[in-house]
Chain A
Amino acid sequence: MSVAFAARRRRGVRPGRAVLYVLLLAVAVFYLLPVYVVVVTSLKSFIEVSNSTPWDLPRLPNLDAYAAAFDRLRLAFFNSVLLVVPGTMLSALLGSLNGYVLSKWRFPGSNLVFTLLLFGMFIPYQSVLIPVVTVLQAIGLYGGIPGLVLVHVVYGIPITTLIFRNYYAAVPTELVEAARVDGSSILGIYRHIMLPLSIPAFVVVLIWQFTSIWNEFLFAVTIASDPDQQPITVALQGLAGSLLAQYQIQMAGALLTALPPAIIYVALGRYFIRGLLAGALKG
């Protein structure tokens, strides 16, 4: 199953085209409605947010809500950066090593090992949450970002391994064989042959892990007990609790939280979709 959205040649004008466009627009309105809500509400003042025309455009658009939201979320925003950068890099590195071994150095039982790794991708994390907390407390990593980095690296291994393994499977085995005959070591082949070929897979994996870790909530709300070490999703949820009627600040905060993955999606959407479909389709 190829995942590429290959373009096909355009057919001639069809009579039903207007109907199709109306349908497409109707679906698009549903998807864009929350975007409209966020943008319009976040540009209003508290007084305007509380009046009876909440769906109207702001009369006096201003960025006060963004200043207030950023002030309250700044710390959490940088906590999330500190979480996402090492979490993403380490799980990508492990995934690429695993994918390399599982595609080019198969051994008896390697398929079983792969399937056992893969299962970890689907489990509800509630089923490991109690021992995760116990163990993190025992090794002194409970309470904040370092513990979350460890958890995201470990539970990121299945999906990163899957993406790299499927990617490396398409690299001709002759390349590996030739290098082996020339006396390259396993790590030498990885560094000099596989790694330079892996850039597209790394892009897919880095984007996928970045988005997943940035957006994650269950581990974050359970492990980050220190209020100064909360990731942004937990802080956004707290913001809504402490500023009940201040919808303009909530919406500005929602936009700040959504911004990094949204920017990545706009810039590199193609790779994001590949990561998205990796678990379901081979390609």
Chain B
Amino acid sequence: MATAQRVLAERPRRGRSALFGERAGSVLLLVPSAVLVGIFVYAFIGYTGFVSLTAWRGIVPDYTFVGLEQYRQLLELERFQADLSNTVRFTALFLTASIVLGFGAALLLDQRLRGTILFQNVFLFPLAISFVVTGTVWRWVFNPNYGINLLLERAGLGFLKSDWLTNVDTALYAVVIAAVWQMSGFCMAMFLAGLRSIPEELREAAQVDGATWLQTFRHIILPLLNPILLAAVIILGHISLKIFDLVFVMTFGGPGFATDMPGLHMFIATFRQNLYARGAAIATVLLLMVAVLIVPYLIWQQREERRA
């Protein structure tokens, strides 16, 4: 009896110290990753922000402090103004087209037709392919002498012919089309997952209550897909802001600055023109644009999780 009491009394104490040791051990496992990410993400972002406040140009670092001078110069720079307006236009077109196409494809695939899996795989495979491959192939498609122009002519749509990638007015659209080809499957996958998670009973109940297909769709299905739409906008939106590979391969920002983007401009300014401080300033602006989109989303996700 006494022994038992002693054991019972001791147990929590031993448990606590063992627990403490275990906790410390578990945190130790996290240390390598935390240190690496701390340095490579947070310290490096800080260093880039610092470089953006200096006068560094040329390959030798120059840490002369110039305040926000680089940012002031950027805002006056024609190329950077083009970057910002191109990013806005590209993102708007890319998001709209990807969501419309992705949602349409998801609705079609949710009709449980024969061959659905095959079509689903066709819509998704571009996601596994490198933007560099996509750019290489679509560059040929938009070659005015070989590509889509000949098909348009054959189809009697010759009035749609264009020089595409070398025409200031159409180059951005061509890049958007290639980007939509690559990424719209992502929207499709998200909307399809959303549609299939809606219980069949819900649709049937609505129909029993006399709702038409369109009413069920508008008042039951669409509202339930709102969180998916938000996630799609945020994920595709931040990919779109960061676009680099595709423009590098298809147009290298040209003709003129017609398809130049902040991500590409940063690379060229820094590693081709050795304007390190300017490159750092562009990178910082780009990071802020992405953060405005992503940080509220991450906080919101955290809250949702805590609630669950």
B2 at interface by CB-CB < 8 Å: no
User: CB within 8 Å of A: which of B132-185?
Assistant: 132-134, 136-141, 146-147, 150-151, 154, 181, 185
Q: A218, B41: Cβ atoms under 8 Å?
A: no
Contact of B27 (CB < 8 Å), options: A9, A107, A120: A107
Interface size on A, residues (CB 8 A): 99
By secondary structure, the A interface counts as helix
Q: Which residues of A contact B266 (CB under 8 A)?
A: 126, 129
- Report how far A97 CA is from B33 CA in the complex, Å: 9
Q: Which residues of B contact A102 (CB under 8 A)?
A: 30
Q: Which residues of B contact A94 (CB under 8 A)?
A: 32-33
Chain-A contact segment, one of B67-75, B78-86, B88-96, B100-108: B100-108
Q: Which residues of B contact A128 (CB under 8 A)?
A: 40-41, 44-45, 48
Q: A131, B122: Cβ atoms under 8 Å?
A: no
Contact of A254 (CB < 8 Å), options: B40, B108, B119, B133: B133
User: CB within 8 Å of B: which of A39-76?
Assistant: 41, 54-55
Q: Which residues of B contact A158 (CB under 8 A)?
A: 37
A interface residues with partner B (beta carbon < 8 Å): 1-11, 14, 17, 20-21, 23-24, 27-28, 30-34, 37-38, 41, 54-55, 94, 97-98, 100-102, 105, 107, 111, 113, 115-120, 122-124, 126-132, 151, 154-155, 157-158, 161, 180, 185-187, 211, 214-218, 221-222, 233, 236-237, 240, 247, 250-251, 253-254, 257-258, 261-262, 264-266, 269, 272-273, 276-277, 279-283
Q: Which 9 A-B pairs have the closest CB atoms?
A: A215-B130, A105-B26, A128-B44, A265-B128, A127-B287, A120-B41, A217-B245, A131-B44, A126-B283
17 sample A-B contacts, Cβ–Cβ < 8 Å, listed by A number: A2-B197, A5-B196, A20-B108, A20-B113, A34-B134, A117-B34, A120-B37, A122-B294, A126-B266, A130-B51, A186-B22, A216-B130, A218-B267, A237-B136, A261-B128, A276-B189, A277-B190
- Apart from A24-B119, A27-B105: 16 A-B pairs, beta carbons within 8 A: A1-B193, A5-B192, A24-B113, A27-B123, A31-B181, A55-B151, A101-B27, A107-B23, A118-B298, A120-B40, A123-B45, A127-B286, A131-B47, A218-B244, A257-B133, A280-B231
